[in-house]
Chains A and B, each alone.
Chain A
Amino acid sequence: MVTEMDQNVNIDDVDTKMEKKSLIHCTDVNVFYDDKQALFNVDLNINEKEVTSLIGPSGCGKSTFIRCLNRMNDVIETCSFNGSIIINGQDIYDPEIDVVELRAKIGMVFQKPNPFPKSVFDNVAYGPKLHGRFLNKSDMNNKVEDSLIKAGLWDEIKDRLNEPGTALSGGQQQRLCIARAIAVDPEIILMDEPCSALDPIATARIEELIDELKVNYTIVIVTHSMQQAARVSQRTAFFHLGNLIEVGDTEKIFRSPDNEQTEAYVTGRYG
């Protein structure tokens, strides 16, 4: 098993000529909703400390795939998974894995900003509190400040920490959600169309932020906007009808993809 995996990594490295080490290895991922299959034998490796974007037409399975990475699909009763996803050498679908610990290492940002109906401070402090970290008050204050700074929100709202998070503007709410996610020091941040509910200025702000965050975090982003994928990501994976059609450097995918379908999609002739 381990040797097989190592081989995979090597092949991948050779293929894409990346010096980067890959962090997430997905092999033979199949997902079903009841009898309907949503993902077919997806094999995908995701590199550490860079941005990987998942693109494809609606219903292609990219959201389903990203939700497999932190086992958010577990909550859907009709959803069943088979295959293996290995993060840091650990199979996350191993029955002995605790989902709570897994999700502490993998933050997620959703399509619609969804801050808790609590104060800005409590929103950010929620994760650390939940996992029993920074129980000391000043440590917690530092952590909240640090997370908000990283999310590029501190200067705007440092005087409004006690206001409800839901009172912020849409873009601020989304950055608050990012701050909330990074407050637990995850290794990976999953973003499921984080900008689709935001205006262009807020979107630009989030994209800038993603660029800054990739220094410390591995980021997987689902997006409908190909320009966005081109702007923020280093690698791009194209999904179609539940199949992973092509994956590679973003430049290559957008300039000279190997697959015809990919080319048709990225040039806007299809999808």
Chain B
Amino acid sequence: MTDKALTLKRKFAETRFKIYGLASLFLAMVMLVVIISSMTYRSIPAFTNYGINLEIKLANEFIDKDDLDYRGIIRETIFSLDSECDDRKCRRSFSKLFSSGAAYDLRDALEEDESLYEKNFNFYILFSDDADLFYKFGIDKNLPENERRLNDQEILWLEGFQEKGLVEKKFSSNLFTNGDSREPEIAGVLGAVIGSMYTILITLIISFPIGVLAAIYLESFASKNRITDFIEVNINNLAAVPSIVFGLLGLALFINFFGMPRSAPLVGGCVLSLMTLPVIIIATRASLQSVPPSIREAALAMGASEMQVVFQHILPAALPGILTGTIIGLARAFGESAPLLLIGMVAFVVDIPQSVMDPATALPVQVYIWADSPERAFVAKTSAATLVLIFLLIIINLAAVILRKKYELKW
């Protein structure tokens, strides 16, 4: 083959390789876009709610603020829409169209603005999930009545509201301000987000110092012998253990043996620490190793002790790598659900946790719970919760990039 032919062949191979690379990059981007956009598309209904603006008449009424029947007031208000509906069966069917959370909303509104106690005012009452879905997607009236979520009468009512122009669509702030609920229209992710935050905080507090110190010791101080080799192999193995095994361990050790509270972020954090530790140790050791040995020699020759060398020179130089590794480990823990299922963080928790000892659930587990719920409205909620999860993970990873840039040393 001539030189020219060889050159051509080499150039062709290079071009071909570039095309392969571009193609796989493109494929990965397409996948990502498809996932995010389908998730976004499916979550759109979860960000809005239909409700009805009705006048609540409290003027001229005697009110005992301490013992107010909010539910009764709501009921009275909504029945004013259809005075003909007065038997029990009809009333039950009618009130089924409105959210059972309306009474709590009313209580909150009144507590916030006391002047409302003596007024007539317009109040936004949420529809229940079935009514909400009717406005969002309609309903197939050809189905037999007993196979539908709404019967003919209920559909008539809902269509009536719409004709009268009473129905109003609003942004669903419940999604971001509430804890979990059995009623999709008032269920939110805040409880799970706070639970996740607490869990990750505990994970960070436990695994970062232990992991970094263990790595420093193994890398810089431990003598190389069979015991340290054994430990090293085991740390690497630990990183490959399926996360659910850590859940089992946490259940047996932290809850059954140490008697820590079930479902609490404290235990969740401990379990996720076990999972994150090997990741942090491995990342820290790798970044300690990547510090040029010439720096160590220079410092030693200046008369620095082994410890001064590590803390004044090697650690600062390795810090960006350590932080990145830690945050990647934490991000993985943040998205982890399997071990949390086993320690009871899959519980139905309505209240927003106030401390690491309170029962809580985590965001990925919330996604799991909602995905498993029978109500159709939870489909959109599941996607919305997933989006929140992805959004938070992006923030965490951004933090990693920023920290890395900030502490990076110029050689």
Contact = CB atoms under 8 A, between A and B. Distances in A.
Q: Do A and B assemble together?
A: yes
Contacts of A254: none
B410 to A, nearest CB: 6
A184 B298 CA distance: 14
Contacts of B304: 100, 130
A72 B308 contact: no
Interface string A175-206: 00100110010000000000000000000000
B303 A77 contact: no
A114 B294 CA distance: 6
A167 B410 CA distance: 8
A100 B305 contact: yes
Given A77-B223, A116-B313, A117-B410, A127 B302 contact: yes
B14 to A, nearest CB: 34
Interface string A160-184: 0000101100000000010011001
Contacts of A110: 294, 297-298, 301
A72 B300 CA distance: 8
A103 B302 contact: yes
B370 to A, nearest CB: 49
Interface in B265-320: 292, 294-295, 297-305, 308, 313, 317
Interface of B: 223-224, 292, 294-295, 297-305, 308, 313, 317, 409-411
Nearest to B316: A117
Contacts of A127: 302-303
Nearest to A113: B294
Contacts of B294: 110, 112, 114
Interface string A126-155: 110011000000000000000000000000
A75 interface: yes
A108 B303 CA distance: 10
B303 A166 contact: no
Interface in A101-131: 101-104, 107-108, 110, 112, 114-117, 126-127, 130-131
A70 interface: yes
A184 B303 contact: yes
Contacts of B300: 72, 75, 103
A171 to B, nearest CB: 17
Contacts of A99: 303
A262 B302 CA distance: 34
A117 B409 contact: yes
B303 A101 contact: yes
A88 to B, nearest CB: 16
A114 B409 contact: no
